[in-house]
Amino acid sequence: MKNKVVNMSEAVASLVQNGDTLVIEGFTHLICFAAAHEIIRQGKKDLTLARLTPDLIYDQMLAAGTAKKLIFSWAGNPGVGSLHAFRRLVECKPRKIEIEEYSHFGMVARFSAGAANLPFWPLRNYMGTDIPGHNPLIKTVTCPFTGETLAAVPGLRPDITVVHAQRADRFGNAQVWGLLGVQKEAAFASKRVIVVAEELVDESVIRNDPNRTLIPGSIVSAVVIEPWGAHPSYAQGYYDRDNDFYVKWDQVARTEESLKEYLDRYVFGVKNRHEYMQIQPELLRLKAKAQISEGVNYGY
């Protein structure tokens, strides 16, 4: 296999096209803000952003004008409240943004179908709710064996998915522990995959613990090594979630002016994640304490 390590700027420039359906997954854990910031810096536009929880990452990307459409299932600031940039777009409609809304299970099912190369995924879901009434892509299907009516959602095949991992080798074999979210499904569903890792390790480290590998290098287009690349979300064993920032975002995003100031300083005002960390040395307080897991015997 060939060495796929590039920097974030090169990865985004060569693999993210205007108009793409883009997924940066990670459920609270391992959300790759470094990739989002680089996409904003490069002025990518007309993206369809898909993710279960748009979180602060897509609130920033929506505010920066990168997107024409959002596909999601829970658009809040976890543990805090609202995503104000998202709310302004939906409530005040300053410019057109299309939204396509599911529940979490619906989004998981869309990625699962995409990853399994199936046209749709059945779920016993949505009866008695108003969700399908506002999303024509949630349909029903009759089970050919039992005659039961099931909900069905179409497979989602993103153009590009970014997965943040704790460690990866130069070929893109990526290992993740802690919350796994829906990253494996999203990556296998995607036409192109960027792996961003906290740490570059030798292939032998991966081979020493293959059960920990979430994404095989064979489906990966590029590898970016970006320590602290998931801040203000977290990387288990590397750094804690910056809950203070999630609370602060509630104020930052409340007006277009304060949001623009944030983007000017922390996104456009720095060249890359390294500079982002350099101007915020206080973030090192989030570094994780050690709680080491024992290895297992892989012998036979």
Partner 1 sequence: MAIEPSADYTPSELMTVQAARELPDGAVVFVGIGLPNLACNLARATHAPNLCMIYESGAVGAIPDRVPPSIGDPSLVTGSLMVASMSEIFQFFLQNGKIEVGFLGGAQIDKYGNLNTTVVGSYDAPKVRLPGSGGACEIAIFAQRTLVVMKLNKRAFPEKVDFITSPGMRSLGKSRSEWGMPGGGPVKVITDKCIMEPNPTTGELEVSALYPGATIENVQENVGWKLSVRSPLGTVEPPNATEVKLLREVLDPDRLHIK
Note whether 169 and 201 are within 8 A (CB): yes
In the complex, what is the shortest distance from the CB of residue 255 to partner 1, in angstroms, rounded to a whole number? 17
Question: Is residue 74 involved in binding partner 1 (CB under 8 A)?
Answer: yes
Q: What 3-state DSSP class applies to 285?
A: helix
Contact set for partner 1, span 49-68 (CB under 8 A): 52-53
Cα Rg of the chain, angstroms: 19
- The sign one gets for the Cα dihedral 28, 9, 157, 75 is positive
In the complex, what is the shortest distance from the CB of residue 17 to partner 1, in angstroms, rounded to a whole number? 28
Nearer to partner 1, 12 or 30 (CB): 30
Q: In angstroms, rounded to a whole number, what is the distance separating the alpha carbons of residues 78 and 149?
A: 34
Strand partners, 254: none
Question: Is residue 33 involved in binding partner 1 (CB under 8 A)?
Answer: no
CA-to-CA dists, residue 111 to 70, 147, 167, 190, angstroms = 15, 25, 23, 9
Tell which one of 18, 65, 124, 209 touches partner 1 (CB under 8 A): 124
Say which amino acid occupies 273.
Answer: R
Nearer to partner 1, 227 or 237 (CB): 237
Nearer to partner 1, 38 or 59 (CB): 59
Contact set for partner 1, span 237-276 (CB under 8 A): 240-241, 243, 246
Sketch the per residue contact string, 75 through 94, with partner 1: x for CB under 8 A, - otherwise: xx-xx--xx--xx--xx---
Question: Is residue 146 involved in binding partner 1 (CB under 8 A)?
Answer: no
Tell which one of 130, 257, 282, 294 touches partner 1 (CB under 8 A): 130
- What does the DSSP assignment read for 114-180? HHTT-SEEEES--TT-STGGG-TT-EEEE-TTT--EEEEEE----SEEEEEEEEE-TT--EE--S--
Count residues contacting partner 1 (CB under 8 A)? Answer: 53
Q: In angstroms, rounded to a whole number, what is the distance separating the alpha carbons of residues 94 and 250?
A: 20
Question: Is residue 234 involved in binding partner 1 (CB under 8 A)?
Answer: yes
The string over 36-71, giving b where at least 16 C-beta atoms fall within 10 Å of a residue's C-beta and e elsewhere, is bbbbbbeebeebbbbbbbbbbbbbbbbbbebbbebb
Kindly indicate which of the ranges 32-40, 154-162, 176-184, 277-285 contains the residues binding partner 1, using the contact rule CB under 8 A. 176-184
Nearer to partner 1, 176 or 206 (CB): 176
Question: Is residue 180 involved in binding partner 1 (CB under 8 A)?
Answer: yes
Report the Cα 157 to chain-centroid distance in Å: 15
* Binding region for partner 1 (CB under 8 A): 27-29, 52-53, 72-76, 78-79, 82-83, 86-87, 90-91, 101-105, 108-109, 112, 123-131, 134, 148, 177-182, 184-185, 234, 236, 240-241, 243, 246, 288, 291
